Chains A and B, each alone.
Chain A
Amino acid sequence: MSGERTPEDKYVSAQRRRYLYIILFLAIAIGIAVYSFGVGSAVIDFNIAIKVIIDRLNGIVPDRSVDYWAWLRDMLVIEDTVPRALGGLIIGAILGVCGAVMQTCVRNPLASPYTTGISAAALFGVTLSLVLGFRFIPIPGETGLIMNAFILSMFPCLLMIMVSVKRKTTPTMLVLIGIGVMYLFNAFTMIMKYRAEPDVLKQIQLWSIGSLTGIGWSAVYVLFATLIALLIFMLCFSRKMDVMASGENQSISLGVRPDRVRIICMVAISACTSVAVAFSGAIGFVGLIIPHLSRLFVGSKSKMLIPCSAVLGALLLIASDVVARLLGNGLPVGAVTAVIGSPVFIYFLIKMRSNGWGK
């Protein structure tokens, strides 16, 4: 009968409606990021920040010798506030996507980039540099510190690859290897902290909790390239990942090599997570909770789950940073993400009529 919609048409319409959630969350995240321009500074409020940005877009750059305060406001907004907001959005997106892919690949709702030991290894790399002055690549300044974190965070990933090549690995085995690595590097870090001077100890603490302080434009460019590569790569693998979630034997029967796909995705996740950790420290909550929140809105299909996890991760992290800066100077964003994220997650689980996790 003309005009009567088939079940297939209804299914396609329902899928399209889910994209509206993604667009909505993206708009909210951008809105919060713009609002954050005027947060947490004694000299910059929202109106000043917006004026500075508009002036810059019109090519107006204050001269320090002519108007010092205008130059200072310009520096604070353009070199600190804006890249910090962008960095927060991008890091949140990376962590959200990595968490979603990790949980799908290892078929474990408790999996996150941090259960593979990546953040613990990265933190130990930072600690090595701060306490002993050791750097794998002798580059001075923060760059050398970041390289330490990046190089050591690849260790858990390479370990998983080696084990997978030697023998057939199950998703549970990969998570257990990651947990073992996490405890190992946490133990090394504790030993280093025991020997550290008080001021160095404070720095290590900041890295272990996570912070967006000090993210500049060079970091934003690297993070943005990482996010784009991650999204493209994972969306190309999205159908294979969905099949993998049905089980090892079923995956092979449907034409997917789960071990191969798992390792490829884990390498990509490890690399991208280590980049995020290298710039922001160990912000661990986002990768664990965001995929579950995303599933409540868009379901478990990776083609929806990945972009939704990206925008929700961005939203959570930038919102947490705003709250951290409102509450007081120097409060690490990682401390706030868990405080905000947990109640929100529990609220949605209780309120949503169907969460699909069974009886």
Chain B
Amino acid sequence: MKLELNGVSFSYPSKEVLNNLSFKFEGAELVAILGPNGVGKSTLIHCIDRILKPSGGSILINDKNNIDFTMKEMSKTVGYVPYASSDSFPMTVVDAVLLGRHPHSNWKSTKEDLRIVYRVLKEMGIEDLANNQFNELSAGQHQKAMLARGLVQEPQILLLDEPTANLDVKHQLGVTKLLRNLSHEREMLIVMICHDLNIASKYADDIIMMKDGTIFATGKPQDVITKSNIETVYDVRCNVIDDEGRPHVILQDEVQH
């Protein structure tokens, strides 16, 4: 699977959000998108998944422009896990996750769809919650259920908008490690927005660091997560040390101008 952006820009009526973004990732890996709030990370993901339409540039998925995909092809190829669930009405975890099989189903769910759902719930370690109400889960369980919905879609590329938000440290580590393992085991390209520099450094294969709607740096964690880059992008003072070959950030204070 391959994801390639060439000169992608996006603007709302009142302001430009993305400006001339270009990058390419190929193969099974976990890519973390880092950057301050409001820099366009979610907008970038929405453009890739055709939730938003870029004002310029092109997005190629497996060398095909994403606007040339039918809706069904797109939903089978690219999966998306939102920042927060917007499910409006009570439903069980099974039914909520089963929605992820919609791109593969015709007019009704099959037993194979159900088999896939229960298998993924077991992989997530939440098979006991199958008959619980989706909106009554804890934050960690809820996040795993939403991730399960994305996984049952069986996409080649999975986009996640802050999958570790609202999770405690243990669950942040657990979910991110799970995503890295899944990307390798299922040969998926997983792109996730992340705010925790150290978790991204520890588990991501590649990093995109954004600033002011553009790509500030891209590459391996040790090349992107540097003292200079962090101070420039985040406006904070820090030290970066080596932790088993990966950079580890120690934050100090805001930069005094």
* Residues of A that sit less than 8 Å from B by CB: 6-8, 11-12, 103-104, 107-109, 236, 239, 242-243, 245-250, 252-257, 295, 299-301, 303, 354-359
Docked CA distance A11–B92 (Å):
11
Known A11-B94, A299-B91: A239·B105 in contact at CB below 8 Å: yes
30 inter-chain pairs at a CB distance below 8 angstroms, sorted by A residue, are: A6-B115, A8-B111, A8-B115, A103-B89, A107-B86, A109-B89, A243-B99, A245-B89, A245-B91, A246-B96, A247-B86, A249-B46, A249-B51, A249-B86, A250-B82, A252-B50, A253-B78, A253-B80, A254-B100, A256-B102, A257-B71, A295-B89, A295-B90, A299-B92, A300-B89, A300-B90, A300-B91, A301-B91, A357-B135, A359-B136
Q: Which residue of A lies closest to B135 (CB)?
A: A358
Count of B interface residues, CB-CB < 8 Å: 41
Closest-CB distance, A310 to chain B (whole angstroms):
18
A254 touches B91 (CB 8 A): no
Docked CA distance A249–B75 (Å):
12
Closest-CB distance, B54 to chain A (whole angstroms):
15
A242 touches B99 (CB 8 A): yes
| Chain B CB within 10 Å, residue with most, of A12, A109, A253, A256 | A253
Give the number of residue pairs across the A-B interface with Cβ within 8 Å: 110
Known: A246-B86, A249-B49, A299-B91. 8 other contacts (CB 8 A): A7-B114, A8-B111, A12-B114, A246-B85, A254-B103, A255-B102, A257-B71, A300-B89
B108 within 8 Å of A (CB atoms): yes
* Residues of B that sit less than 8 Å from A by CB: 46, 49-51, 71-72, 74-76, 78-80, 82, 85-92, 94-96, 99-100, 102-103, 105, 107-108, 111, 114-115, 118, 127, 130, 133, 135-136, 153
Chain B positions within 8 Å of A236 at CB level: 107
Chain A positions within 8 Å of B89 at CB level: 103-104, 107, 109, 245, 295, 300, 356
Chain B positions within 8 Å of A246 at CB level: 85-87, 96, 99
A299 touches B95 (CB 8 A): yes
B107 touches A239 (CB 8 A): yes
A253 touches B49 (CB 8 A): yes
Q: Which residue of B lies closest to A255 (CB)?
A: B75
A245 touches B102 (CB 8 A): no
Docked CA distance A252–B100 (Å):
12
| Chain A CB within 10 Å, residue with most, of B79, B80, B88, B100 | B88
Chain A positions within 8 Å of B74 at CB level: 255
B88 touches A107 (CB 8 A): yes
Docked CA distance A257–B75 (Å):
11
Checking B46, B72, B96, B108 against A255 with a beta-carbon cut-off of 8 angstroms, the contacting residue is B72
Docked CA distance A357–B88 (Å):
9
Closest-CB distance, B252 to chain A (whole angstroms):
37
Docked CA distance A306–B88 (Å):
17
Docked CA distance A217–B88 (Å):
40
Known A247-B86, A254-B99: A8·B114 in contact at CB below 8 Å: yes
Docked CA distance A12–B108 (Å):
12
Chain A positions within 8 Å of B87 at CB level: 245-247
B90 touches A355 (CB 8 A): yes
Chain B positions within 8 Å of A301 at CB level: 91, 95
B80 touches A243 (CB 8 A): no
B111 touches A254 (CB 8 A): no
Docked CA distance A249–B71 (Å):
13
Docked CA distance A247–B51 (Å):
12
Chain B positions within 8 Å of A303 at CB level: 108
Known A295-B90, A299-B91, A300-B95: A255·B136 in contact at CB below 8 Å: no
Docked CA distance A311–B50 (Å):
40
Q: Which residue of A lies closest to B87 (CB)?
A: A246
Docked CA distance A236–B95 (Å):
18
A357 touches B90 (CB 8 A): yes
Chain A positions within 8 Å of B136 at CB level: 356, 358-359
B115 touches A254 (CB 8 A): no
